[in-house]
Homo-oligomer: A and B are copies of this chain.
Amino acid sequence: MYSFKNDYSEGAHPRILEAMMNANLEQNEGYGLDSHSLAAAASIRKLADRDDVDVHILVGGTQTNLLAISSVLRPYQAAIAASTGHINVHEAGAIEGTGHKVLALPSPDGKLTPSMIESCLKEHTDEHMVQPKLVYISDSTEIGTIYKKAELEALHHFCRLHDLYLYLDGARLGSAMTCEENDLEISDIAAMTDAFYIGGTKNGALIGEALVIANPLMKENFRYMIKNRGAMLAKGFVAGIQFEELFRDGLFFEMASHENQMAAVLRKGIEELGYPFYSDSPTNQLFPILPNPMIEELEKEFEFYRQYAVDDTHTAIRLVTSWATPEAEVQNFLASLKQLSVR
């Protein structure tokens, strides 16, 4: 049974495994100070077009988010997120676990805007309330949408003006940056945020997320933070080798493009059959709204999540493509959907 449940069901791109094999008997420095991690960081700095950013390769998105956020907030300060934000709903209270409230703002498309944030700031007037201090966004968002350059610029300027940190969760940044609608470069993101991360786990690495920090305050002693939260890998080179390979000659973007192409085929096929989508996603997560009986039939052949109950008889399911998704499986899915639609 083929699974469209997520983009982390398979291992790693063969080139990554090969790089790991080749380096296997090397003696490497521990704790991310090895030559591979340094090379990966150098590649990322080049993409970011900034010599002064710090790069730390971590393991997992929740860990990366909680590290970045708790490194700069003081005890009474809060993070602002869309109510669909990963830190708000899918991290088991990890941010609160570091002592900070997440202020969740309703958003129809999973994105934040300056005016939403402004309303939130206005409600928080004095020391009886938390002080909003960091803005958390995801690109692509949890419902597949992406930020356009103008939108990110607007957030950037707003945050600067109001002395807020801007942090971007890039668990699926690859898919966001290689989709057709995208007009952002890694260098734009590096210029407009205080920190962001480039997700490897959901884009063809075994493990690893590369946190890129531009803000000097967050940079300071960040390795202490990593150790303090139990996030420092003894064999940091295991992640380093992977990111070195991902950014050696564009493998990262190549894999993300494949995800998007597979998603595009799916999207087009579903649209042609007349089904609407829960969100307007140009990336590798699609949320078609289907009749419940049809979903039951599809579940006999494919795995996926039932994401949102839209009404009593319809549900938005989540279909995710990965670097490893074969086009044949996409076509199988569409064929089944077509067949069920004809009945």
Where the two chains meet, the residues of A that have a C-beta atom closer than 8 Å to any C-beta of B are 2-3, 5-6, 8-12, 14, 17, 20-21, 23-31, 59-67, 70-71, 74-78, 89-94, 96-102, 127-131, 201-202, 206-207, 221, 223-235, 237-238, 324
Contacts and interface: CB of A to CB of B under 8 A. Distances in A.
Contact of A12 (B5, B14, B24, B78): B24
Given A97-B229, A231-B230, A8 B30 contact: yes
Nearest to A9: B27
B101 A227 contact: no
User: Ordered nearest first, which 6 A-B pairs have the shortest CB separation?
Assistant: A63-B230, A11-B24, A76-B224, A92-B227, A93-B130, A76-B228
Contact of A76 (B92, B129, B206, B234): B92
Contacts of A226: 127
Nearest to A14: B24
A92 B8 contact: no
A62 B77 CA distance: 17
Contact of A65 (B64, B128, B224, B230): B230
B235 A201 contact: yes
Which of A77, A202, A224, A324 has the most C-beta atoms of chain B within 10 angstroms of its own C-beta?
Answer: A224
Given A93-B100, A229-B230, A230-B66, A235 B11 contact: yes
Given A127-B92, A127-B226, A228-B97, A2 B24 contact: no
Contact of A59 (B59, B67, B71, B221): B59
Nearest to A58: B230
A92 B237 CA distance: 21
19 contacts: A3-B27, A6-B234, A8-B234, A11-B24, A11-B237, A11-B238, A12-B24, A17-B24, A60-B232, A75-B228, A76-B97, A76-B228, A78-B96, A91-B230, A92-B227, A93-B99, A97-B99, A98-B99, A128-B227
A251 to B, nearest CB: 15
A94 B67 CA distance: 13
A207 B238 contact: yes
Contact of A206 (B8, B11, B128, B235): B235
Given A11-B23, A11-B235, A230 B99 contact: no
